[in-house]
Structure 1
Amino acid sequence: MYRLTNTVRPYAWGSTTAIPELLGTEPTGEPQAEMWMGAHPGAPSRIATDTAAELPLNQFIDADPLAALGAPAVDRFGPRLPFLLKILAAGSPLSLQVHPDLAQAKAGFADEESRGIPINAGHRNYKDANHKPEMIVALVPFDGLCGFRHPAESADLIEALGVDSLKPYADLLRAHPEDAALRETLAAVLTADHEAMAATVAEAVQAAARLAAEPGPFADAYAAYASLAHHYPGDPGVIAAMLLNHVRLQPGEALYLGAGVPHAYIDGLGVEIMANSDNVLRCGLTPKHVDVPELLRIVRFEPGDPGILRPESSPEGEELYETPIDEFRLSRYAIAPGGTPRSLDDRTPQILLCTEGSVLLTSADGAELLLAPGQSAFVPAAERVQLTGGGTAFRATVVV
């Protein structure tokens, strides 16, 4: 097992304090948005080995995929770690976005490659041929947007603002069928005249801020929309966000975000896991490229409950967050001081992350590795590990 040295990404939306508080370090004054744990070539974790003091994890895996990942994982996913684990700290809202499914990603990537669009071009949609399902588990109260409200409910929310220029969108939302109503409304919002939309957003946000202070079923959502507009004034994504479910996760609760589900994180600290992909199509709340026709092709216009996940406990002490994909499997262990050691399955590669207290990893040969909050370790396949100590550990692995 190997302690990981991880890279913190300083995206502008990151919190300046949340990750330093978790790690017990001094804030730098700069945003610290994501700490990456894994073998993604963009910022691979680093490990110390017998032959190298700082070896990127992707190079370690490339040197002997079968030893690092195990034959079942290599057979299923190829000679690479198929997931990326993160600590995500949102100090301001992320862009409103959606991810393609696997077939869409393969086709979109092949198309853009054939047209010679540079991989780093600002208008490029597909950076790779993989899908990007993801899940966020809250470590503190966490605000986000996830999936479409039923359109009639969104119409009620919008009409209550009392903004005349929003009435056509409310009328569209009351049309049937629901999927067509959502599609037409989102398209109308994203293709509206820029100056007219900026004025609509300004007026809508004034009303939202006023209604957020009054009792009502949408008070929390109005407060969230006002926050979005504070960071992205005049952005049509503020109105697009009013079509989505506003969600406040409590610590330990999670959201799974499958292909085609529009979402945005607004504020909070969480553990995020995803398939290894950079494919993002943006809907708003961003100065970056928004490809409306491609976006409308990818989005699933299916209203419904956002589906908050809570872990299911096993007799072995594992609390599993069930998801419908195989590239990652995320669970949590609450380790009580002096309690029964927790033995982990050794068939697959895993990353272990401590988020509270301290967790001691002990291998079959007696080697020990102590993890404090924010510290993590890579455990190759076939290495049996026990957890003891007094704290909380997340375990990321794959399904084979």
Structure 2
Amino acid sequence: MNLLDGAARSYAWGSRTALAELRGLPSPTRHPEAELWFGAHPGDPAHLVSEAGPTSLLEAIDRDPVGQLGAAVAERFDSRLPFLVKFLAADEPLSLQAHPSLDQAREGYRRENAAGVPIDASVRNYRDANHKPELVVALTEFDALAGFRVPRETIELFALLGAEELAPYQRMLEDQPDAIGLRTLFTSWITLPQRALDAVLPAVLDACVRALERAETTRDRRFVAELRTVLELGEYYPGDAGVLAALLLNRVTLRPGEALYLDAGNLHAYLRGTAVEIMANSDNVLRGGLTPKHVDVPELLRVLDFEPLPSPVLESRTQPDGSVRYPTPAPEFALTRVELSSGAGADGAGSSPYTLGPLDRPRILLCVHGSVQVRAGGATLPLQRGHALWIAASDPDPELCAATEDATVFVAEVGSVD
């Protein structure tokens, strides 16, 4: 096992304080820190820490895929670590986006290669041939737009706004309150000529202001978070069709420990907060707005899933050993939260160590609170808050002990090799 240095990613929407404070570093930082990647993605692999110096995790796996990944994982995932786990910190909204299915990613990657689009080109949609299901678990309060809202509720929101400019779109959804109606409405908005958008959007924003003023008087809190979010997005991205699209999506606030799972085709935008995120090992993003980056509307429409998502918050499961599992259908990854304590129990004894059971697969541990001692095969490594540890498939099964009064560790591993 080795401590793992993550690859820092600086994007404009990142935080100058959250990731630095998580790692115990001085803040604010000079540039926004958006993500810290712990994985073996070719675009930015993490590095194993050893006395001989840092080694790319990607190179270590290439040299010994069976030893690092285990025979079953190496065979199932073509000698590649199938997941990427990261810390994510957003101070501003991310782009409105969705991710392709595996078949869509493979076809798009081949298509762009055949067209000669450079892999690092700003207009490139598919930077690899993999899909990107993803799971995000909040470390702080975490706001997001996630999946299309049930049409009946969106019709209620339109009626609350009462904007004349929204009336034809409200009728469009009332006539077909299902996935087909959502597709028609979203397509109409995302392809509006700028002149038409410049007429509709200010009217919608004014209606949001009026609705919020009424809410203060009537104490009716329905859609208050949605209205505030649309106004906020309107300030960040004036004249952007993505602001209208936000009216169609579930507005979610996660409490620490709560999670969202987003499969292929789910339109979403993370708004604010700090989280642990795990996904299939991909960097494929189709954007639909709320960004200065490349937006490819036809390609986005090709991959979007317009089925309403009634409840985007994932239900976690507490295991018999007290750990919390976040179940998803993704074979590439699984995520578990482990709470540890060093305090004495009623019998005066300290808490028992937590043992990661036998598993011929790799694991990455992320400490998000306190610190722990990780013991395996006679060796002990400290794992501090905001840091990560790589456990290869061939390493002895480790056990975790809290080095502070309490500690929280996330265990990232492969979901299934069947």
With normalisation by structure 2, the TM-score equals 0.92
- 2:165–2:203 contact (8 Å) kept in structure 1: no
Q: 1:228 deviation in Å? A: 1.5
**Matched-pair identity in %:** 47
Q: Distance in 1 between matches of 2:62 and 2:34?
A: 28
Q: Distance in 2 between matches of 1:309 and 1:376?
A: 24
Is 1:305 aligned to 2:310, yes or no? Answer: yes
Is 1:267 aligned to 2:253, yes or no? Answer: no
Q: Distance in 2 between matches of 1:87 and 1:209?
A: 35
Q: 2:256 aligns with which of 251, 275, 280?
A: 251
- 1:156–1:170 contact (8 Å) kept in structure 2: no
Structure 2, unaligned stretches of length 5 or more? 343-349
Secondary structure of 2:5's counterpart equals coil
Is 1:220 aligned to 2:225, yes or no? Answer: yes
Q: 1:151 deviation in Å? A: 1.8
Secondary structure of 2:368's counterpart equals strand
C-alpha distance after superposition, 1:65-110 (max 9, x if no partner): 1111110111111211111111000100001111111111111111
Q: 1:121 to 1:29 in 2, by over 3 A?
A: closer
- 2:10–2:35 contact (8 Å) kept in structure 1: yes
Secondary structure of 2:261's counterpart equals strand
Q: 1:315 deviation in Å? A: 1.8
- 1:20–1:26 contact (8 Å) kept in structure 2: yes
Is 1:211 aligned to 2:211, yes or no? Answer: yes
Structure 1, unaligned stretches of length 5 or more? none
Partner of 1:388: 401
Q: Give the aligned residue type for 2:409.
A: A
- 1:202–1:233 contact (8 Å) kept in structure 2: no
Partner of 1:57: 57
- 2:317–2:326 contact (8 Å) kept in structure 1: yes
Partner of 1:169: 169
Q: 1:360 deviation in Å? A: 1.3
Is 1:375 aligned to 2:391, yes or no? Answer: no
Partner of 2:346: none
Q: Give the aligned residue type for 1:160.
A: L
Q: Distance in 2 between matches of 1:168 and 1:360?
A: 61
Is 1:130 aligned to 2:100, yes or no? Answer: no
Is 1:342 aligned to 2:354, yes or no? Answer: yes
Q: 1:238 deviation in Å? A: 0.7
Q: Distance in 1 between matches of 2:160 and 2:224?
A: 11
- 1:359–1:388 contact (8 Å) kept in structure 2: yes
C-alpha distance after superposition, 1:318-375 (max 9, x if no partner): 2110000110011110011131111113321000000001111100x22111112101
Q: Distance in 2 between matches of 1:108 and 1:216?
A: 43
Secondary structure of 2:161's counterpart equals coil
Q: Distance in 2 between matches of 1:216 and 1:173?
A: 23
Secondary structure of 2:169's counterpart equals helix
Q: Distance in 1 between matches of 2:374 and 2:315?
A: 25
Point out the more displaced range, 297-306 or 199-208. 199-208
Q: 1:296 aligns with which of 293, 301, 304?
A: 301
- 2:334–2:413 contact (8 Å) kept in structure 1: yes
Q: Distance in 1 between matches of 2:315 and 2:339?
A: 14
Secondary structure of 1:222's counterpart equals helix
Partner of 2:182: 182
Q: Give the aligned residue type for 1:331.
A: T
Q: 1:159 to 1:358 in 2, by over 3 A?
A: same
C-alpha distance after superposition, 1:283-312 (max 9, x if no partner): 211122322222222111101313312421
- 2:89–2:273 contact (8 Å) kept in structure 1: yes
Q: 1:60 deviation in Å? A: 1.1
Q: Distance in 2 between matches of 1:310 and 1:374?
A: 25
Partner of 1:31: 32
Q: Give the aligned residue type for 1:41.
A: P
C-alpha distance after superposition, 1:118-172 (max 9, x if no partner): 2223332211111000010001111001111122321221232232222222121
Q: 1:318 aligns with which of 320, 323, 342?
A: 323
- 1:89–1:269 contact (8 Å) kept in structure 2: yes
Is 1:351 aligned to 2:364, yes or no? Answer: yes
Q: Distance in 2 between matches of 1:260 and 1:85?
A: 20
Secondary structure of 1:331's counterpart equals strand
Number of corresponding residues: 398
Secondary structure of 2:11's counterpart equals coil
Q: 1:210 deviation in Å? A: 4.3
Q: Give the aligned residue type for 2:361.
A: T
Q: Distance in 2 between matches of 1:211 and 1:15?
A: 31
With normalisation by structure 1, the TM-score equals 0.96
Partner of 1:397: 413
Q: Distance in 1 between matches of 2:199 and 2:385?
A: 45
Q: 1:212 to 1:249 in 2, by over 3 A?
A: farther
Q: 1:20 deviation in Å? A: 1.5
- 1:317–1:342 contact (8 Å) kept in structure 2: no
Q: 1:177 deviation in Å? A: 5.5
Partner of 1:43: 44
- 2:336–2:412 contact (8 Å) kept in structure 1: yes
The Cα RMSD (Å) is: 1.5
Point out the more displaced range, 62-71 or 281-290. 281-290
Is 1:332 aligned to 2:334, yes or no? Answer: no
Q: 1:195 deviation in Å? A: 3.1
Point out the more displaced range, 191-200 or 208-217. 208-217
